A and B are shown apart, each in its own frame.
Chain A
Amino acid sequence: MASVNLLDENLLLWNEFRNGNADAFGELMRTHYPDLFNYGTRFTKDTELVKDCIQDLFLALWVNRLTISETSFVKYYLLKALRHSLTKAINRSRHRADPHFEYGFNSTPPVENSLIREEYLIDLARKMRKVLAGLSRRQQEVIYLRFYMDADTDEIAEIMSLSRQSVYNLLHDSLRRLRKVSPKKAFWFPHLLPLLF
């Protein structure tokens, strides 16, 4: 499978970086930057803050490279660490204990709705979006990590510091709600009606 090679390449890079290879370090940062930036901007629109946190994250990684172990799950550690430092930075400026996944599916969808190639799906997609927007922020974050970061249940649990069971429950409940929305059945679920308008 292609993913094995990818894994090996990441592992190679990681080990090179741990050996103090600055080029590998730069490559590591470049590789993971888009995902980290993407994830970071779900928490805040302050892109400078996100960039600062990512910068600090990698410098801290470099400083501590000798105490860091071999791993093939680099990306999820980075996501977790970013979530940690970002929410700390955000919470310092507001009074809040819980990190908020602010800009998930409740935000405005991309304007280019033309990307929906099947005309007949536009309505259904709109309904699905309303269901997604109505999910709790945690649920949105779980779905986001599953869909955009290809994280599995274990990895999501690790990133969000939740138990596997909670992640499973959050995911399960979200999917249950999405499944209920079908073009035919929607009418039979009156409680969904408010979401449609």
Chain B
Amino acid sequence: MSNEEYNTLEDLVFSRSFRTWVLTGDTPEADFWSDWATRNPGKTELVNQAKAVIYALQLDLRPLPEEAVDAEVRKALQKVQDGRLTPVREVPLRPGILGRHYSRAWTAAAIVAAIAIGIWSIRFFHQPRQEGFYPTFLAVDPAKPIHQQTAPAGTEKWLTLPDGSTARLTPGSKLSWPADHPDADHPDADHPDARHNGRPGRQRAVFLEGEAFFNITHSASLPFFVYTRNVITKVLGTSFTVNTNSGKTIVSVSTGKVSVYHKKDLSDGMILTPNQQSTYDPGKDHLDKALIARPVALETADSTAGSPGPAPVAAVFRGLQNRYGIPILYDEEAVAGCTLRVPMGNEPFYEKLNVVCKAIGATYEAIDGNIVITAAGCK
């Protein structure tokens, strides 16, 4: 303590010991401070300034009485012990993301994200248990009516949601959404209940049974959620398909980015980019990422890709990657000497990939939504 220097206003103002001494006068360090003040007559003005700032910093605080805090704690414990609040299954901590060597910022971000997702999941899921998730979703606010549309057998149905997003339902598929789904003109409009019952304000959220292709209008502040029985898909503004017909839930992306979560375990999630899909298999009870069966060239991509002369194979891979938005991973050195002349037409993605690989004696695998090339080199 005696070694510490106090030379500036902030040294004193933000010293807890100095502050306690000023405000209560009764602290173990009182002797130190009165002694320090007499030993440093030149700092009298500084001390006075610091004292004045500390007085000025006092706030009219109305702490919650201890009994009220106790009541809040009991309330939380009650809910915890009811056992209704344990949707997260035991997952081993992932050392990469959660290891203690990671920086504070990362840990903080992870915790805040976990809390944000948690709050959101509690608000959605912590409703009295009824039979399954569907009624729960619909019961988010019982006072609010639910809109429901079903595509008749044999025909597709096009829907435009109030926020301007569109959905194309395959025959027999059903889509539901709360009547207060935000509309395009007032996506963030006031929700009178939001403040007092702790419920979220209006959300863009729909529940799907069957299959639908969605084209979502962009709103960074208001994500769009597609719920199915087991999977939650979250997007800001993209187009994608959700299919629950097989008992599995398959989400495949046409444009933009989509986040997919396991409903019961929000830590089981992934981000999908175009031509990738996630499959939830109830048998395995988790999400798998893969490429869709027939990747489609991105609309924005240059359709005249492919060069007239011999091109380094790395450039060909880059061209394919850009055109389909599918990450292609290869060893730069292994393909360094490889060139080839391939006019790229409208052949399907895998056909192009086959031609290229055959030409340079390489093989490919689709792993986790990426293409991994194994090449021996061209010498």
Contacts and interface: CB of A to CB of B under 8 A. Distances in A.
Contacts of A34: 63-64, 69
- Specify the main secondary structure of chain B where it touches its partner: helix
Contacts of B110: 67-69
Interface in B314-346: none
Contact of A178 (B9, B19, B116): B9
Given A30-B73, A110-B58, A158 B108 contact: yes
Interface stretch (B83-91, B127-135, B251-259, B284-292): B83-91
B34 interface: no
Interface in A60-119: 60-71, 73, 76-77, 80-81, 84-85, 89-90, 92-95, 103-105, 107-111, 115-118
A67 B119 contact: no
Interface stretch (B141-149, B189-197, B225-233): B189-197
Contacts of B56: 105, 109, 125-126, 128-129, 131-132
Given A25-B77, A66-B91, A124-B49, A143 B57 contact: yes
On chain A, which size bracket covers the interface? 35 or more
Specify which of B80, B105, B114 lies most central, judged by the most chain A CB atoms within 10 Å of its CB: B114
Nearest to B195: A93
A117 B190 CA distance: 48
Chain A CB count within 10 A is highest, among B55, B80, B105, B267, for: B55
B305 interface: no
Chain B interface size band reads: 35 or more
A79 B86 CA distance: 24
A121 to B, nearest CB: 5
A182 interface: yes
B64 A37 contact: yes
A138 interface: no
B107 interface: yes
Given A26-B76, A67-B91, A81-B111, A108 B118 contact: no
Interface in B57-113: 57-64, 69-70, 72-73, 75-77, 79-81, 85-88, 90-91, 93, 98-100, 102, 104-105, 107-108, 110-112
Contacts of B55: 115-116, 121, 125, 128
Given A90-B195, A93-B195, 4 more contacts: A62-B76, A64-B88, A77-B112, A105-B57
When A and B form their complex, which 6 residue pairs have the shortest distance between CB atoms, in order from nearest? A60-B118, A128-B56, A92-B201, A124-B52, A125-B55, A52-B198
